[in-house]
Amino acid sequence: MHSKELIKPDGRHLTLYSNQPIPDGLIAPSPFPDPMNANPHLRWHPLRGEWVTYAGFRQNRTFQPPPQYNPLAVTTDPANPTELPQGDYEVAVFDNRFPSLALESHDPPALSTVPTAPANGHCEVVVFTQDPNAALVHLPLSRIELLFKVWADRTTRIGGTHHIQYVLPFENRGSEVGVTLHHPHGQIYAYPFVPQVPERMLAQEREYYLQHGTSLLCDMASKEAEDGRRVLYQDEHAIAFVPACARYPYEVWVMPTAPCKDFASLSDEQRPALARALKTVLLKYEKMWDRPFPYLMAWYQAPTDGAGHPETQLHAQF
């Protein structure tokens, strides 16, 4: 994998990735001339026992623009820059201009009713392709494998920040789930704590590992493979299935069959198999109805605390 790091005029970082060398001379554009001024904060929810993010400045973010004003398209007119430069690269990652979490957050408001804290995390946009009319399902397996490497690189880099505890890559597709930009892209949220949902899953995985000495999710996948009725894809290294405990219609889990705690731990055998499993699921979704299938895809992995986490299994939930 090749990468090139650039700085936008407003100070945000842009990293380009490709399976081939990226040419020199690319200049990072930005549709925003002024420096970013994001200062989100957290408020503690005493009944749910979790932090809630407040970021009022996100009200000004781009919302379903017409195709000619697509901020994720490559810049064709320097007088009207977008977020991406023209050039030979495959995937682009840049700092979200309207983040829910920001490393420089400071001075949260003092409230008499609940504790507050700076939302010292990080939010990135991951653009899967320069083609605004494509979708993740349309991309070749080589691009999906590259995307796994990109997520691994971002997890390692962001997770190396001392106060980041959890890195969550995800994709929302379709206006039905709140998408505001239809150019194929995902996001990465890096939290200063482990969010409640993965925290609960990690606790269950940890308890199971202490009792059985094996991975809860790997054992679940093995049993689903033996049953076979809900399996959508299976090979030696990856599996996709509808879990017997599914909470939603069309819920699917995708994962390696052998223990793997995060994207950086994927082996050279697991990565292409996982790409085939993911693409198979996306193709099945796409052919289900006579229209693009909306979904939310979240990838859960180990916390970035430096521990081994043998109990944790990298997996996607749709």
Catalogue the active-site residues. Answer: 185
Q: What distance in Å separates the CA atoms of residue 133 and residue 185, rounded to the nearest whole number? A: 11
84 forms beta bridges with: 74
User: Hey, what are 237's tokens?
Assistant: 């290294």
Closest CA to 235 of 219, 254, 216, 251: 254
User: Hey, what are 80's tokens?
Assistant: 């009207």
Q: Rg for the chain (alpha carbons), in Å?
A: 20
Question: What are the DSSP E strand ranges found in the chain?
Answer: 2-7, 13-18, 41-45, 50-54, 91-95, 116-118, 122-127, 166-173, 185-191, 231-234, 238-241, 253-256, 295-300, 315-317
Q: How big is the CA angle at 152 (ends 244 and 100), to the nearest 5 degrees?
A: 80
